[in-house]
């Protein structure tokens, strides 16, 4: 028993270290790497990925895990070992279902597809990408067969990002959410405020943006000795070590304070990473997030529930105005609040407002399901995309670059990933409701820029569990129920009917 | 034969990739990593180092190398394969002498020692570092036993950085050099110019320094798509890939244009890295420098022979003055040339002038020898350092920060490294003499800021050989002789007797 335990902990420790190394290689590629380093960097990443995978699916590791899972042995284990062994066994058994040749084939196909997608997007020509996407859809279907979960084949794809989530559950939640979002949007569109709303035309120079980002990171208690902020094309968060989490932003987007809200968003992810269980669970499969949806709930929570909240700006507007100086002298706090919460159907998901965002996600979920179900084929995709955009948001892309070619996810073979963005938004609303109930001073604290109790609550109810439970179990434990889009819809109605005075 | 060749090239390829990964982990630690990331970083570095070492000393690799080294097989190999197999065999046989556990222990010890050194230096408290250094000295001695080269134990330490170099040879060259440097220094000290020389009190703000650094990198033809410049406490160069070389500088030292000369220095290293043999030798043991001394000759060459040369400033002073603007308006080119070549015994090696620099190196060489010989112990080090400084340079540090704590090398376990700095200076003088003979227009080209032929010469006579020969063989090939401090001394006398008019 001792030998098996030692072995599985040693292996997990080294796999964690390799994971951090891989994260650094990726971070550097997106931030500082000289342009021509790309070729060799992809080889370095592939090597670490292969070394990790070989180690994870090795017969030796599996043998020890099975030994420890044997009922007689398992019963004698400490509680924390039980949690680790159970989790590890499930992960390994899933990974071992997929033949190495398939992993390699998928990796090669997506590498080529990613380059094709970039070209297709640059040249606004979907046909350059279509045959690659067809191959990927076929491989995704094969993958579903390898895993073989019960129910809809697409369950196998969601499960990689959101363990335990199913098509049945999502269709139920998303169909309600979709109809409600369209209703709310229609209602808002009739309001005088909507009809007369203007595009905000202020811009802030990079030094000012930076200053504001560092202030909010500090306010959110992201410790600078364990975290840092850099610049990349697309903002992201990555954990290189337990005490080394990196976030990025982009100061050059022509969207007022994109950098500020993206920094808050990524800092929310980073706080989660820094709050994951250590101690007995350090360097184990437990010290990680159980799902992307729960991870996204943390970023959405800070971005939408906190930083787009009027109480927050009652606190922060003075600081913000002082730094922005002349640009903001003629903008009242009410105008500013309206601006940052402006609802407006738009073509690009990552630039969408809080209300319409989930419609972008549901569109992608519907398309993925239909592709896996063979109800539609890849060639029809641009038209289907445009029709759906019109139906959901009342606008139609005039180019595929702003339509079916806008996201990189499919070229990477990340089917089942998109739904987690909406799950994150829903969970965030559920968490905010519960925090406000548990701590009746929440709004006052936000007005004082005091996030200590909020972070404490998240640490205690979400972060500390890592992967010892599924996301849904953690949510049930924290809020008394799993995914519930009704709470999110209620939150949206309260907020946006008030803003638009309808 | 085919199977063995395929295997040894595959292994070298993956070892090269792991080497680049390790370089990135190190670069990041010195530049951007949040402070608390240190602990885990040391584990990541140790893991990669162990994985590489295990692979390098594996029986399987050695078996194939021996198979290919068998005379009958070897004779049939292509010339390039012969070079690779020979070099690889020698490297493996040396590496197989050192147990893996030792390698990992050394790596862990030094990463922690590096953090301790930083703290000790910041707090000017040698005692915080002493116990770490003691451990390292013990490990270095153990290492010498593992390798077991003939002669002085310290030969084993030099050999890692300067293959084939020995204590006997170095003592001979260094004793001549030491006596000559002291003599030259004494003579200069009597000159009127020395007696009346002033400290240059101009400073340049960081943005101006940066601008000048980027201009010179560009002039030196360091391609920005394959190289970048960042900031660290101590400037360094590291190669993360064939097309990804990083250099660093420091803009905050209170030494006029430290950043400029250190950038030129590191860019010299970077040009060498980018010029190493590719093609048949890509991802092999050949595509590397044969010694640190030869590497240092490249940086010293650009720093001293080029950028501290009057011909260079005849070209560059106008550009420099324009950027420096007001600060330089009352400084003539002659005054500037005198300033950047001012001889003045000082406490910090990396801020030392060209003449006294090697005395700093010889001091460290003497101390390392005595530590390995057990003639002195670590606790005495600060006092011994100060006494030696007084003897060689006539000055004494008032704090250990400016004394025994100034360099990071010992914290990294780099015993045997320091002598290579002096070797580099000597080689650089030899190379400059030879280039000036081979290309009679060298001075004119420098006056025009045209370094094309100089770089071409270095590429052709030094860079392209990689490790296909030892440094000494390459020097003999290029200049007709190996290490010769007489040429360096002659160069110094010519330059400094003229500057000081003695």
Choose the mutation target among A37, A248, A278 for the interface with B, i.e. most B CBs under 10 Å.
A37
Q: How confident is the model at residue A254 (pLDDT cuts 50, 70, 90)?
A: low
The 10s digit of each residue's pLDDT in A292-312 is: 999 999 999 999 999 999 999
By mean pLDDT, which of A55-69, A244-258, B337-351 is the weakest? A244-258
**Containing domain of residue A118, as a range?**
2-161
Determine contact, residues A502/A324, Cβ cutoff 8 Å: no
Determine contact, residues A422/A362, Cβ cutoff 8 Å: yes
Is the pLDDT score of B325 beyond 80?
Answer: no
Which run of H or of E encompasses A381? helix A381-393
B246/B250 Cα distance (integer angstroms): 14
Residues 6+ apart with CB under 8 A from A448: A315
Residue B227 placed within a domain: yes
Residue of A nearest to B24 (CA): A25
Q: What is the mean pLDDT of chain A?
A: 96
> Can you say whether the dihedral through the CA atoms of B25, B27, B30, B35 is positive or negative?
negative
Determine contact, residues B338/B308, Cβ cutoff 8 Å: no
CA dihedral A427, A411, A401, A352 (to 10 degrees): 10
CB B36 to CB A244 under 8 A?
A: yes
pLDDT (mean) for A209-235: 96
Residue B6 placed within a domain: no
Mind telling me how many Å the CA of B262 is from chain A's nearest CA?
20
- What pTM value is reported for the model? 0.93
Q: How confident is the model at residue A207 (pLDDT cuts 50, 70, 90)?
A: very high
A165/A144 Cα distance (integer angstroms): 15
CB A28 to CB B28 under 8 A?
A: yes
CA dihedral A211, A213, A218, A219 (to 10 degrees): 110
Is the pLDDT score of B296 beyond 70?
Answer: yes
CB pairs under 8 A between A and B: 100
Residue B281 placed within a domain: yes
pLDDT (mean) for A130-153: 97
Name the domain boundary from A111, A126, A161. Answer: A161
Do residue A383 and residue A431 come from a single domain? yes
Q: Which two tokens stand for residue A84?
A: 């680790």
Mind telling me how many Å the CA of B19 is from chain A's nearest CA?
10
Residue B126 placed within a domain: no
Do residue A248 and residue A392 come from a single domain? yes
Do residue A419 and residue A329 come from a single domain? yes
Residue B420 placed within a domain: yes
Name the domain boundary from A97, A127, A161. Answer: A161
Nearest CA-CA partner of A24 in B163, B447, B31: B31
Q: How confident is the model at residue A346 (pLDDT cuts 50, 70, 90)?
A: very high
Do residue A203 and residue A61 come from a single domain? no
**pLDDT given for residue B202 in this prediction:** 82
Do residue A243 and residue A331 come from a single domain? yes
Do residue A324 and residue A195 come from a single domain? yes
Determine contact, residues B100/B150, Cβ cutoff 8 Å: no
Q: How many domains does chain B have?
A: 1
Residue B153 placed within a domain: no
Residue B262 placed within a domain: yes
By mean pLDDT, which of A425-429, A439-443, B254-258 is the weakest? B254-258
Is the pLDDT score of A107 beyond 90?
Answer: no
Which run of H or of E encompasses A230? strand A227-231
Using CA atoms, how far residue B256 sits from A499, B199, B347, B386, in Å, is 58, 10, 16, 26
pLDDT (mean) for A69-74: 97
Sheet with B227-231, edge to edge strand ranges: B227-231, B244-249, B237-241
Q: What is the three-class DSSP state of B71?
A: helix
Do residue A453 and residue A321 come from a single domain? yes
Residue B52 placed within a domain: no
Residue with tokens 């003897």: B391
> Can you say whether the dihedral through the CA atoms of B431, B436, B439, B443 is positive or negative?
positive
Q: How confident is the model at residue A413 (pLDDT cuts 50, 70, 90)?
A: very high
pLDDT (mean) for A152-178: 97
Name the domain boundary from A161, A179, A204. Answer: A161
pLDDT (mean) for B233-248: 96
CB B51 to CB A47 under 8 A?
A: no
Which long-range contacts link B39-44 to residues 24+ away (Cβ below 8 Å)?
B39/A241, B39/A243, B40/A17, B40/A20, B40/A240, B40/A241, B40/A242, B40/A243, B40/A244, B41/A241, B41/A244, B41/B111, B42/B107, B42/B108, B42/B111, B42/B112, B43/A17, B43/B108, B44/A17, B44/A20, B44/A21, B44/A24, B44/A241
Angle subtended at Cα B209 by Cα B206 and Cα B215, rounded to the nearest 5 degrees: 140
Do residue A149 and residue A204 come from a single domain? no
B47/B31 Cα distance (integer angstroms): 21
CB B40 to CB A227 under 8 A?
A: no
Do residue A141 and residue A215 come from a single domain? no
Do residue A44 and residue A62 come from a single domain? yes
Higher pLDDT, B111 or A32: A32
Residue of B nearest to A227 (CA): B34
Nearest CA-CA partner of B316 in B231, B454, B218: B218
**pLDDT given for residue B475 in this prediction:** 98
Do residue A439 and residue A487 come from a single domain? yes
Is the pLDDT score of A60 beyond 80?
Answer: yes
Mind telling me how many Å the CA of A27 is from chain B's nearest CA?
11
The 10s digit of each residue's pLDDT in A116-133 is: 999 999 999 999 999 999
Using CA atoms, how far residue A457 sits from A272, A293, A467, in Å, is 12, 18, 18
The 10s digit of each residue's pLDDT in B332-370 is: 999 999 999 999 999 999 889 999 999 999 999 999 999
Is the pLDDT score of B331 beyond 70?
Answer: yes
Do residue A84 and residue A204 come from a single domain? no
**pLDDT given for residue A39 in this prediction:** 87
pLDDT (mean) for A462-482: 98
Q: What is the three-class DSSP state of A389?
A: helix
**pLDDT given for residue B254 in this prediction:** 67
pLDDT (mean) for B451-477: 98
Nearest CA-CA partner of A480 in A433, A424, A422: A433
**pLDDT given for residue B63 in this prediction:** 98
Q: Which two tokens stand for residue A141?
A: 């279907």
pLDDT (mean) for A211-228: 97
pLDDT (mean) for B49-57: 91
The CATH number covering residue A290 comes to 1.10.1370.30
């Amino acid at each position: 028993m001792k030998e098996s335990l030692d072995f599985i902990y040693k292996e997990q420790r080294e796999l964690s270290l390799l994971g951090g190394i891989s994260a650094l290689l990726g971070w550097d590629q997106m931030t500082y790497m000289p342009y021509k380093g790309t070729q060799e960097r992809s080889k370095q990443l592939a090597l670490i990925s292969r070394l990790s995978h070989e180690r994870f699916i090795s017969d030796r590791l599996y043998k020890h895990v099975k030994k420890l899972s044997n009922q007689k042995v398992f019963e004698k284990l400490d509680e924390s070992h039980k949690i680790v062994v159970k989790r590890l066994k499930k992960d390994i058994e899933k990974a071992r279902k997929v033949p190495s040749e398939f992993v390699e084939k998928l990796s090669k196909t997506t590498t080529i597809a990613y380059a094709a997608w970039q070209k297709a997007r640059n040249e606004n020509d979907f046909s350059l990408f279509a045959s690659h996407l067809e191959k990927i859809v076929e491989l995704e279907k094969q993958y579903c067969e390898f895993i073989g979960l019960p129910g809809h084949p697409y369950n196998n794809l969601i499960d990689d990002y959101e363990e335990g989530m199913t098509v049945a559950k999502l269709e139920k939640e998303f169909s309600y959410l979709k109809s409600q979002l369209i209703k709310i949007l229609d209602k808002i569109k009739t309001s005088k405020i909507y009809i007369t709303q203007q595009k905000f035309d202020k811009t802030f120079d990079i030094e000012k943006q930076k200053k504001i980002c560092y202030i909010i990171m500090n306010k959110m208690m992201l410790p600078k000795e364990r975290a840092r902020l850099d610049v990349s094309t697309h903002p992201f968060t990555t954990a290189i070590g337990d005490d080394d989490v990196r976030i990025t932003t982009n100061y050059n987007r022509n969207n007022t304070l994109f950098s500020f809200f993206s920094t808050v968003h990524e800092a929310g992810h980073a706080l989660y990473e820094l709050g994951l269980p250590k101690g007995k669970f350090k360097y184990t499969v437990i010290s990680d997030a159980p799902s992307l949806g729960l991870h996204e709930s943390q970023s959405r929570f800070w971005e939408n529930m906190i930083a787009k909240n009027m109480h927050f700006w009652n606190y922060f507007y003075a600081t913000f105005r002082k730094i922005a100086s002349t640009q903001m002298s003629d903008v009242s706090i009410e105008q500013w609040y309206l601006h940052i919460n402006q609802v407006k159907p738009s073509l690009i998901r990552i630039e969408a407002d809080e209300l319409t965002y989930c419609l972008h996600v549901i569109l992608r979920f519907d398309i993925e399901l239909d592709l896996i179900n063979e109800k539609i084929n890849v060639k029809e995709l641009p038209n289907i995309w445009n029709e759906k955009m019109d139906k959901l948001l009342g606008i139609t892309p005039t180019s595929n670059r702003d339509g079916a070619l806008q996201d990189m996810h499919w070229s990477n073979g990340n089917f089942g990933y998109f739904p987690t963005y909406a799950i994150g938004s829903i969970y965030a609303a559920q968490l905010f409701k519960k925090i406000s109930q548990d701590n009746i001073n929440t709004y006052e604290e936000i007005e004082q820029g005091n996030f200590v109790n909020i972070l404490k609550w998240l640490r205690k109810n979400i972060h500390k569990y890592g992967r010892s439970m599924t996301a849904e179990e953690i949510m049930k434990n924290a809020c008394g129920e799993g995914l519930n889009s009704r709470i999110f819809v209620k939150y949206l109605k309260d907020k946006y009917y008030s803003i638009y005075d309808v």
